[in-house]
Structure 1
């Protein structure tokens, strides 16, 4: 969980666990709906064994590192569940880092290259409209 999160419901982590894929994967409050469609990384839960296996790629200092690990999890045949409307549980202030990301390591990566990480696995990302709907 990023530091720019306000917890609106003390049971938010229990809810994230409840929506987590049964056979392992990733669950998240926050969804990115631009290509590649994926979970947003500001409040994301990943199984420990998957994190240990893939880790965050140090060639990417901002969101592409979280995006890459998601593509690896999908290629393993696992699922990602991302909640689009999460305000009941958390608030992400977001965007408060200014332009710091622009010169960060890995941010010159072309979007088409990032999309290619996902191959044909994008359908394994389930976008949940509201956390209570899951």
Structure 2
């Protein structure tokens, strides 16, 4: 269609109203996926509010674990300051691939032809009265 729906729809990114509201907030960081993190204001319990503005589709699995901890007040400072450097054996988190072409599909899945290996003979069906 060519029409930019971003100002009106939340699933394509931040809406126009969100960008206006975030003007008075402080950007505290950005992750390796390009998501932006903001902080500012207080909720009714006096806890500082925190936001993520996704770089792309709004999918919570696109928030890395360290920023998830910050968003949910498990750590007070931004991850670069509060957490130790990652270990050499750690791998980065992955986006949830469900619903995409890269999603896991076992051999019996319809997308893979719907054929699965026959039962090995160790299964015995229950019959009433037997």
Q: Name the structure where strand makes up a greater proportion of residues.
A: 1
Higher relative contact order (CA 8 A, sep 6+): 1
Q: TM-score, normalised by structure 2?
A: 0.24
TM-score, with length taken from structure 1? 0.23
Which of the pair has more CA radius of gyration?
A: 2
